Amino acid sequence: SAAGASADAVPPATAPPVRSLTYNVCGASAGCRSDLDLPAWTAVVAGEAHDWDADAVMLQELCFGQWEALRGALPEYQGVWTSTVGSASGCAKWSDDTRFGLGVFVKAPAVDRLTAPLTVPAGLEPRAVLCARGPVQGRTTLA
CATH number of the CATH domain containing 102: 3.60.10.10
6 pLDDT more than 80: no
Amino acid at 113: R
66 in any annotated domain: yes
Are 8 and 139 a contacting pair, CB within 8 Å? yes
Phi/psi of residue 97, nearest 5 degrees? -85, 105
34 in any annotated domain: yes
Phi/psi of residue 4, nearest 5 degrees? -85, -10
- What integer is the mean pLDDT of 103-125? 93
| For the chain, percent of residues with pLDDT exceeding 70 | 93
* Apex 94 CA angle, 70 and 58, nearest 5: 40
6 in any annotated domain: no
What's the total number of domains in the chain? 1
- What integer is the mean pLDDT of 103-119? 94
**Summary mean pLDDT of the chain:** 91
Q: How confident is the model at residue 35 (pLDDT cuts 50, 70, 90)?
A: very high
- What integer is the mean pLDDT of 60-72? 97
pLDDT, position 2: 46
Structural domain including 125 reads: 17-142
79 in any annotated domain: yes
57 in any annotated domain: yes
Q: Give the residues across from 142 on adjacent strands.
A: 133
Q: How confident is the model at residue 91 (pLDDT cuts 50, 70, 90)?
A: very high
* Angstrom distances, CA of residue 83 to CA of 25, 46, 66, 121, 124: 15, 21, 13, 18, 15
- Of 30, 28, 34, which is closest to residue 99 (Cα–Cα)? 28
* Angstrom distances, CA of residue 114 to CA of 30, 34, 91, 118, 134: 30, 28, 24, 13, 11
- What integer is the mean pLDDT of 32-36? 94
The model's pTM is 0.88
10 in any annotated domain: no
